[in-house]
Amino acid sequence: MKEPVSRKRTPAGMTRLAMSRVRKGVAYDDICQTVYENGGLDSRYLTMTVMSAAIAVLGLMLNSPAVVIGAMLVSPMMGPIVGLGFSVALLDLGEMQRAVKAIAVGVGVALLVAVILTAVSPLKEPTSEILARTRPNFFDLLIAVFSGLAGAYGVIRQRGDTVIGVAIATALMPPIATVGFGLGTGDLGIAGGAFYLFMTNLVAIALAATLTAGFFGFRPKLGSRVGRWRAVAVVAVLVLMSVPLALSLRAIAQESRVTAETRVAVDQIFRGADSRITQLESRSDGEQVTVSVLVSTREIVSTAQSQLNDWLVAALHLPVEVTLDQIVVADPDAAARALQASQTAADPSTQMRNRLIEAIPFETDAVLYDGAERIAVIQTRRSSGLDLRGAVSLERGLTRRFTDVAVRVIPPLQPLDPVDLADPASRGLAVWALARWRAEPVVSLCSPEAAPEPAEGEEAGPNVGETFLAELAAAGVAARAPDQSLCQRGDNNLARIALSD
């Protein structure tokens, strides 16, 4: 009796067997019909879009993740987006046009609702929920991709549209509402960044849905010349849609590299100085890189900015604009122990104050924020070891980070070094400190240089001492009448300052 011959399966055969099992039970015609029925424009779609957009923009303004999730639960955008993905997989130009129309109308309605609610709302302060959606990052792309996979898989396996709607809205409805908030408040930076995030996520979701449909065996029917032309048109649209995604991926990759190179460079530049990066922001537009760094250190490195600029230019081979500020603190590790204030408070002024507290690398005596005037006052503590130049750098760094807030850092009251009247930087530091302290100082001008001889027919200009007094007056500092009571022997072209009681 002959033994049965064992059949050796090839990898290709095993793959086909596995795919047949995966696709088993997929009712292609019924699924296509369901997808296309749910991907059109009707009254239910518009009504739920209005509700979802309203909930989303209110949740963003209140900085409430729970309310934003509520918007995700009722978002109807799953239908047309999955329909777009399937139409690309099937090369169905007619259904693609129908899906794109539904998405465009839905986005327009959502934007209108968000702009109106923002315009009539007293809450105009960008919250952390809003600012988190002003530009795409790698994790946003991952969310969008998995949202598209979940949406298409749920449709194919007929698992219901509620969970799918949550997955899709995670990456779409909040950015749309953020665009509306930016337009409603006139902040085109927020609106533009959020729209770029929305377009990137939309393409990522649609492509993920397309790949999922293709994986489960949805294939185009190209039996005629017309079908082939449709395929060409669909592929062209797909390529155009992929442009934002490609640009976003390029920018994300470049910014990640810039951040990594900056951290390595700062570590090398400040080696032995016991320093920490307190703030680091990088931007890339493909042609130029902008880097902003705030470093807490025990010892100032005077050439740090130029060294960092040279390092990044050599590493990236691109034009680089670097701003590096240094603040001298007693304990650089205090940045890691900064107060972690709650970000869920409903009051926008409290939210901004908490963000300011988190951005300061040491404890302070007080952090005050006036939401109506958008002014922040930060009273630093003497034990922080912050000198005047460090306080100026901190104020400059916070101003760059919080562009819509007038930041005022108040350093501890301390004696001022003699001012070199010929040095604008020395005069400027003294004027800044006196203005922050709201002092009425006694100013002694010690042998100031005379003004240059005027040209024929011109009046004599002020000397450097008079220029310093004018700068004080322009900053609102009411200096007492100048005299020479504080001057010492050998003082030439200096100003000595005593703070009044």
Q: CATH code at 111?
A: 1.20.1080
Distance between CA atoms of 478 and 471, rounded to whole angstroms? 11
Does 313 fall in a domain?
no
DSSP letter for 297, please: E
Pairing state of beta strands 289-297 and 275-284?
antiparallel
| Residue written as token pair 């090839």 | 10
Q: Does residue 107 belong to any structural domain of this protein?
A: yes
Does some domain include residue 233? no
User: Residue 435, class by beta-carbon neighbours within 10 Å (0-12 exposed, 13-18 middle, 19+ buried)?
Assistant: middle
Q: How far apart are CA 96 and CA 82, in angstroms?
A: 10
Residue 467 in tokens: 């220029």
Number of domains making up the chain? 2
**Longest Cα separation, the chain:** 128
Query: Is 468 inside any structural domain?
Result: yes
281 lies in a domain? no
Provide the residue range defining the domain that includes 161.
23-221
User: Where does residue 387 fall: left (phi above 0), alpha (psi -120 to 50 degrees), or beta otherwise?
Assistant: beta
Among the three residues 221, 252, 278, which one is the final residue of a domain in this structure?
A: 221
- The answer to whether the Cα torsion of 212, 52, 38, 94 is positive or negative is negative
Q: What is the dihedral of CA 42, 48, 50, 52, to 10 degrees?
A: -150
CB 380 within 8 A of CB 410: yes
Nearest to 101 by CA among 44, 49, 40, 169: 40
Would residue 300 count as lying in a domain?
A: no
The residue out of 206, 221, 236 marking a domain boundary is 221
Q: CA-CA distance, 412 to 415, in Å (whole number)?
A: 10
- The three-class DSSP label of residue 379 is strand
Residue stretches of the chain with pLDDT short of 70: 1-27, 158-171, 221-235, 237-238, 240-242, 244-245, 272-273, 285-286, 328-347, 454-461, 481, 500-501
Q: Is residue 469 part of a domain?
A: yes
Residue 414 falls within a domain, yes or no? no
Q: What is the pLDDT of residue 95?
A: 83
How far apart CA 328 and CA 411 sit, in angstroms, is: 12
**Integer angstrom CA distances of residue 290 from 264, 283, 414:** 17, 5, 35
Question: Of 205, 221, 237, which residue constitutes the final position of a domain?
Answer: 221
- Predicted confidence at residue 109, as pLDDT, reads 94
Helix (H) / strand (E) element for 165: namely helix 162-185
pTM confidence score: 0.57
The pLDDT of residue 22: 56
